[in-house]
Structure 1
Amino acid sequence: MELTSELQEKKIFLIEGLKKTYKEQYDAIQPLPYIKDRLYCVDKVFVEGGVEVCLAPELRRGNGGSWERLESYKSVYTDFRCKSKRRIIQGEPGYGKSTLTLQLAYDWCNDVLDSPMYNVEILILLRLRQLGRVKSLFGAIKSFLLSHEPRVSKHEIEKIINSCSSVHITLDGYDEYPGRGSNDNDDVHRIIKMELFADFDVSLTTRYLPECLREETKRAKLTGFDDKARDEYIRKAVVGNNNEAVDKIKQRLYENSILADLCQVPLIFVMFAHMAHDQKDVMKFKSVTQFFKHIIRCFYDHLNRKRKLNDSRNNRFYLLEMEHHELDKIAFEGLNKQNQQLSWIKTEFRKRVGPESYHQYILIGILVEEDVVSDESTVDKVLFTTMVRFYHKLFCEWYAAHHLVTLVKNAYDINETLRFLDPVDLQYLFRFACGLDPDAGKKLINHLKRLPGGDTFAILCILEQTGDVNDIMDSVKDLCSRDVKIKRGDSALLQRSTTQLLEIASKNNIPISCVDIDYCSPRADESGLNLILQSGLSLCILSSLQKLDIWDITILTNEELAAILSYSSQCTSLKELVFDYYVLPDAIPAGSIPSSLKSRNVKVWNYINDDKYRRLNLQTGQWQACDGNGNLPGEEGYSEPSSSEDDTDEEDAAQKRRRSREKCKVS
């Protein structure tokens, strides 16, 4: 459709208006919510975390399918495996979904050459949590992106967009979209189902998948910050190339190993990095509860210093910090629902907590206000209402934990109290509650032990309860004295808890006899500092690990094998690396084998099938036949193959091992 000269002029106004709105948004990045006068342009702080693409997805099963790492966020739009008109970008709260959309808006506004947005005529970026039950996309564009541009009407926006050959629509935060649970055939759902704008590129960011996905929809996932990304952020946004300052911040993180999992969340690491740089005193935390208590303390301390309150007001301010019962209750009510509520109408929220407390929470940055379209809006008249939400879901979990403590201590039926609280989704709610109150913690820990995978998670909660790693050492030693299994069928809670406990063991020099990874398709990340499981969780370098046994029916390339060898070489106590069932290259370049594996003479061996085993010659890169324990002929411990297959009493170790594996495989 060809535009008239008048509409051509309107198109210019539309594009200029969009760029003005996006600039206001991407120039207002706030790493520390309580320092409102320290704003950054997104391009000055944006750092790429891990991003993966889903291959052969099972759309109805959330995380179904296999995942492979992409080089960059740009690959979501350029990699042939992501080629589609509909893309989903998944990620947990704080993993940078919204920041990524602002970086794309920056790229478009500034004609960044290597950006996938470079040749896009019009970029539409809408935050779905603001839309209420808006039926029309064009009405939303006018209300939220072009309200300051009177020269372009809603109908003209529609004509202009429909005339364009290249439009990219980004819908941010489907999980917070007020209309997600309705059956209304609004524009948002029509777009997702490709009933509207089927020829336009559309990206949707969300925590979880919509029900109405088309099979051709491609999925990517943000997996958080690894060591490389954390280092880049510190240099880019905190201290520049001051190596001494970089090392100081990183050292503060390493001294607080219990925070490693939490600091994979970009938003939390960003706060930690700025706080570690700003504060001169030592920051050592024995639990995430202590760490989060420190964060809240910093929020209040900053405002206290800024306002220089007198003694009487200071005492009142302290009481507001300590007494937050109604805020706790609201937070808990929001989380303890089948469909969580993460935002509230301002007038109702303010009435419940009281005007003075509400004002303080907003000033401090714990709460954030945002205008959204009211349910009372009509087609001809759009009305707005102010909603309020916690700065991050973790803050909601922190305050909800205080109310959970009260309920658990007085609960007659703890299962009823916790019936909507999933530890996988709300692990920090449980950990905070255990750290806040020992009595409530004991009841919660007993409850968790009865859940699948709950035993391991309960150990972490015990650590929160006591704040002393020594109190869980016996449990950790017992866990690590046996084969630690990480299997594909494990719950996310079990996998996450297991990897965290292994890291605690390594940091405390507790020997880890064997980590057994079954059907999780582990691969080393680009830095070689983490082993990434199929679930997206990472296993850091374990210096006290003695044996790593990974099992899958798949093919490894030379590059993938070399990356796993590189990871293994940094596990300085490792004696054996076993590949079960993997199809491996017949030989690998000797130069790609790390020298530390050679100097320690680590056994790298492969079970093929039918009791056939081979071992990698670390000097030549060739494979040699070996026994079921990785020993070569002539080496101490080598056992000849059994001559009698029917004599189970004399069954050798290799046969036992294979049969055990086959049983696991069937189960």
Structure 2
Amino acid sequence: MELNADLQEKKQFLIEGLKSTYKGQYDAIQPLPYIKDRLYCVDKVFVEGGVEVCLAPELTPGTRGSWERLESYKSMYTDFRFKSKRRIIQGEPGYGKSTLTLQLAYDWCNDVSDSPMNNVEILILLRLRQLGSVKSLYRAIKSFLLFHEPRVSKHVIEKIIDSCSSVHIILDGYDEYPGRDSNDNDDVHRIIKMELFADFEVSLTTRYLPECLRKETKRAKLIGFDDKARDEYIRKAVVGNNYEAVEEIKQQLYENSILADLCQVPLIFVMFAHMAQDQRDSMKFKSVTQFFKYMIRCFYDHLKQKFKDNRSNELYLHEMEHHKLDEIAFEGLNKEHQQLSWIKTRFRQRVGPELYDQYILIGILVEEDEVSDDSITTMVRFYHKLFCEWYAAHHLVTLVKNAHDLSDMLRFLDPFDLQYLFRFACGLDPNAGKKLINHLKGLPGGDTFAILCILEQTGDVNDIMASVKELCSRTVRIKGGDSALLQRSTTQLLDIASKNHIPISRVHLFLCSPRVDESGLNLILESGLSLSILSSLQKLQITDIRRLTNEELAAILSYSSQCTSLKELRFVGYHMPDTIPVGSIPSSLKSRNVKVWNGNYINGVYRRLNLQTGQWQACDNDGNLPGEEGLDEESYQESLANFNRARRK
């Protein structure tokens, strides 16, 4: 639609107004919330973590479909396999969903040539948690993005957008949207369901996947920082090309192996990296509770140095006394639908004006405006959900110590969603920790997580050795449908077992689609988590439903050969290559005569790989070849006949 001169001019005002708003947002990245005078442009600190896309959705509950890693976030918009008008970008809290949206806004504002936003006429980026009861997209744009532009009204915005051929809408934070999962026919839901602006491209970020979009919409997933991304961030945003300084920060992380999992979360790693640069002394932690306690102390210490007067004593008392903040945090999490933001006036009155102002000044709390009922309400939230879990854990400790039955009291607290709430509580108080650990052991899959909570409680690996040995004496399963917490807990415990030379009887990776990383030292699961070389692993079974290429098989064989105690490697469900080049079979597998076999039982036949020839041969139920224990010549000939008949079919 051709615009008249007046509307064309107002379109330019709209675009300039949007760019001005986005610049104010992407120029205010704050890696350390307590240092408010150290702000960065997003382009100076943005580092790409892992991104995967779903090429085929899950077929049955508990499975994860087919996912593939992308080289860049840009591929979400350029890869032909991911071509769609609707995209969902999933990621856990702190994994960089909002930072990614600001990078896209930066790209658009600055005409970045290789960005997928380069040819977009108008970019609309809305933070859904701010929308309150606003149901109209045009009103939301006016209220949040063009509030400073009087020359462009809500009705003018509607006319301009309707006339555009290229509009990209980014809806950030569906999981924090007040109207999420409701049946309201608001513009947000109409856009998502393609009832509104069906020709416009829409990206939705969220912590979880809305049920109504499980099949129809293309999905991507942010999986956090690996070693390469962490290195890049340190160089780009912390110390530049100072090689020695880079190595010093990396060494601090390696010395705190208990934090390796936590530092996969980009937000936490970013704070760790900047704190490691600021602190002259080495930071050593035996638990995430110790780390978080240290981090909060840094928040307060910075403010004390800023005041440099007798108020530092008051700050110390306030640092120790935060009961009201604890209560509010706990009440927000202990609900069927969690509350992560509160009306400022009520929150401030409850904790007290003086303490509230300090929490804002320190950076523990953040204020944000929300539009509701034609008025703007200032809301307050914790800097990150992990901070909410930290303070809630203090109140949980108080409740648990005085409670006899935890089941009813904890009915809304899902440890698989609030893992750090439980870990913090166990680390803060040994007596409350014992009760919580017993409670966790009674939950499905909770025994594995309980072991990590014991480690959190004591800070001493020796105290969990008996539990780790008992766990590793039986089959340890990691399933594709498991929560991230359960997978993380399991992989961490396997790593602890291996490093302490505890025999791991058998690991079964079920529908995890593992692949070997470039270093050849890690199996990367579909969830993005990794399984490092396990020197004490005795048997490994991998179950999946797909074709395995020669290259993929060779990489898994190479990884397995480095698990020096491995006796058996079994593949189940895979369509395996007919033959394997002998050169791709590691010599250590041959010298140890590791059983590598296809566990698919077809027409009475199992097949095992002959490591000397690269051929599959019929074997017995225990994987024995002719001449080995358990399979005589007559049985072998019968199995071979069955095998050949199966191949002909």
TM over 0.5, shorter chain: yes
Structure 2 counterpart of 1:158: 158
CA distance in 2, matches of 1:67, 1:543: 28
Equivalent residue runs for 1:133-144 within 5 Å? 133-144=133-144
Letter in 2 for 1:435: G
CA distance in 1, matches of 2:51, 2:551: 19
Structure 1 counterpart of 2:332: 334
Structure 2 counterpart of 1:69: 69
Map Cα deviations across residues 426-469 of structure 1 (whole Å, 9 max, x no partner).
01101111111111111111111111011111111111111211
User: Do 2:21 and 2:146's aligned partners in 1 also have CA atoms closer than 8 Å?
Assistant: yes
Structure 1 counterpart of 2:373: 376
CA distance in 1, matches of 2:634, 2:457: 52
Structure 2 counterpart of 1:451: 443
Equivalent residue runs for 1:557-576 within 5 Å? 557-571=549-563, 573-576=565-568
Structure 2 counterpart of 1:664: none
**Which of 455, 467, 474 is 2:459 aligned to?**
467
Structure 1 counterpart of 2:611: 617
| 1:258 to partner: Cα distance | 1.6
CA distance in 1, matches of 2:97, 2:411: 29
| 1:478 to partner: Cα distance | 2.4
Cα separation, partners in 2 of 1:634 and 1:228, compared to 1, 3 Å: farther
Map Cα deviations across residues 629-651 of structure 1 (whole Å, 9 max, x no partner).
5666567x5744774999xxxxx
User: Do 2:590 and 2:611's aligned partners in 1 also have CA atoms closer than 8 Å?
Assistant: no
**Which of 449, 468, 480 is 2:472 aligned to?**
480
Map Cα deviations across residues 606-625 of structure 1 (whole Å, 9 max, x no partner).
3343333222637x755566
Cα separation, partners in 2 of 1:607 and 1:376, compared to 1, 3 Å: closer
Map Cα deviations across residues 59-103 of structure 1 (whole Å, 9 max, x no partner).
996985333322321122122332211111111110110011111
Structure 2 counterpart of 1:22: 22
| 1:544 to partner: Cα distance | 3.6
Cα separation, partners in 2 of 1:517 and 1:122, compared to 1, 3 Å: same
Cα separation, partners in 2 of 1:41 and 1:149, compared to 1, 3 Å: same
User: Do 2:440 and 2:450's aligned partners in 1 also have CA atoms closer than 8 Å?
Assistant: yes
Map Cα deviations across residues 502-543 of structure 1 (whole Å, 9 max, x no partner).
122233343323322223322234554432334444323334
Residue 258, structure 1, aligned to residue 252, structure 2: no
Structure 2 counterpart of 1:428: 420
SS at match of 1:152: coil
Structure 1 counterpart of 2:322: 324
CA distance in 1, matches of 2:156, 2:475: 66
Cα separation, partners in 2 of 1:225 and 1:166, compared to 1, 3 Å: same
Structure 1 counterpart of 2:509: 517
Residue 195, structure 1, aligned to residue 195, structure 2: yes
Equivalent residue runs for 1:559-598 within 5 Å? 559-571=551-563, 573-588=565-580
SS at match of 1:612: strand
Structure 1 counterpart of 2:277: 277
User: Do 2:64 and 2:481's aligned partners in 1 also have CA atoms closer than 8 Å?
Assistant: no
Moved more, 136-145 or 503-512: 503-512
Map Cα deviations across residues 372-412 of structure 1 (whole Å, 9 max, x no partner).
11x231xxxxx211111001101000000000011111124
Structure 2 counterpart of 1:663: none
User: Do 2:389 and 2:420's aligned partners in 1 also have CA atoms closer than 8 Å?
Assistant: yes
CA distance in 2, matches of 1:110, 1:573: 55
CA distance in 2, matches of 1:255, 1:641: 56
Letter in 2 for 1:406: T
CA distance in 1, matches of 2:303, 2:534: 41
User: Do 2:626 and 2:633's aligned partners in 1 also have CA atoms closer than 8 Å?
Assistant: no
Map Cα deviations across residues 211-230 of structure 1 (whole Å, 9 max, x no partner).
54384311111111122222
User: Do 1:627 and 1:640's aligned partners in 2 also have CA atoms closer than 8 Å?
Assistant: no
Cα separation, partners in 2 of 1:627 and 1:531, compared to 1, 3 Å: same
User: Do 1:53 and 1:81's aligned partners in 2 also have CA atoms closer than 8 Å?
Assistant: no
CA distance in 1, matches of 2:195, 2:565: 57
User: Do 1:453 and 1:491's aligned partners in 2 also have CA atoms closer than 8 Å?
Assistant: no
User: Do 1:227 and 1:529's aligned partners in 2 also have CA atoms closer than 8 Å?
Assistant: no
Moved more, 147-156 or 417-426: 147-156
CA distance in 1, matches of 2:331, 2:424: 17
| Alignment coverage as a number of residue pairs | 637
Cα separation, partners in 2 of 1:222 and 1:118, compared to 1, 3 Å: same
Moved more, 51-60 or 248-257: 51-60
CA distance in 1, matches of 2:586, 2:367: 53
CA distance in 2, matches of 1:414, 1:607: 44
SS at match of 2:338: coil
Residue 363, structure 1, aligned to residue 369, structure 2: no
Q: In angstroms, what is the RMSD of aligned CA positions?
A: 2.8
| 1:362 to partner: Cα distance | 0.9
Structure 2 counterpart of 1:352: 350
User: Do 2:134 and 2:373's aligned partners in 1 also have CA atoms closer than 8 Å?
Assistant: no
| 1:200 to partner: Cα distance | 0.3
Structure 1 counterpart of 2:170: 170
Letter in 1 for 2:461: V
Letter in 1 for 2:178: P
Structure 2 counterpart of 1:51: 51
Letter in 1 for 2:264: Q
Moved more, 541-550 or 110-119: 541-550
Letter in 1 for 2:381: R
CA distance in 2, matches of 1:359, 1:406: 26
Cα separation, partners in 2 of 1:516 and 1:245, compared to 1, 3 Å: same
Letter in 1 for 2:116: P
SS at match of 1:168: strand
| 1:475 to partner: Cα distance | 1.3
CA distance in 2, matches of 1:132, 1:430: 31
User: Do 2:94 and 2:265's aligned partners in 1 also have CA atoms closer than 8 Å?
Assistant: yes
**Which of 594, 603, 606 is 2:598 aligned to?**
606
Structure 1 counterpart of 2:3: 3
Residue 408, structure 1, aligned to residue 406, structure 2: no
Structure 1 counterpart of 2:645: none
Cα separation, partners in 2 of 1:558 and 1:15, compared to 1, 3 Å: farther
Structure 1 counterpart of 2:644: none
Cα separation, partners in 2 of 1:112 and 1:509, compared to 1, 3 Å: farther
| 1:243 to partner: Cα distance | 3.1
Letter in 2 for 1:316: E
Identity rate, percent: 82
Structure 1 counterpart of 2:388: 396
CA distance in 2, matches of 1:22, 1:169: 14
Relative to the length of structure 2, the TM-score reads 0.91
User: Do 1:59 and 1:213's aligned partners in 2 also have CA atoms closer than 8 Å?
Assistant: no
Cα separation, partners in 2 of 1:508 and 1:607, compared to 1, 3 Å: same
CA distance in 1, matches of 2:263, 2:511: 27
CA distance in 2, matches of 1:146, 1:410: 52
Structure 2 counterpart of 1:125: 125
User: Do 1:60 and 1:211's aligned partners in 2 also have CA atoms closer than 8 Å?
Assistant: no
Cα separation, partners in 2 of 1:12 and 1:138, compared to 1, 3 Å: same
CA distance in 2, matches of 1:545, 1:48: 33
CA distance in 1, matches of 2:410, 2:198: 43
Equivalent residue runs for 1:189-228 within 5 Å? 189-213=189-213, 215-228=215-228
Which 5+ residue runs of structure 2 have no aligned equivalent? 639-649
Map Cα deviations across residues 94-137 of structure 1 (whole Å, 9 max, x no partner).
01100111111111112222211111111110111111111211
SS at match of 2:233: helix
Cα separation, partners in 2 of 1:283 and 1:580, compared to 1, 3 Å: same
CA distance in 2, matches of 1:247, 1:588: 41
Relative to the length of structure 1, the TM-score reads 0.89
Letter in 1 for 2:348: R
**Which of 522, 525, 528 is 1:533 aligned to?**
525
Moved more, 334-343 or 492-501: 492-501
User: Do 2:62 and 2:481's aligned partners in 1 also have CA atoms closer than 8 Å?
Assistant: no
| 1:165 to partner: Cα distance | 0.8
CA distance in 2, matches of 1:172, 1:124: 11
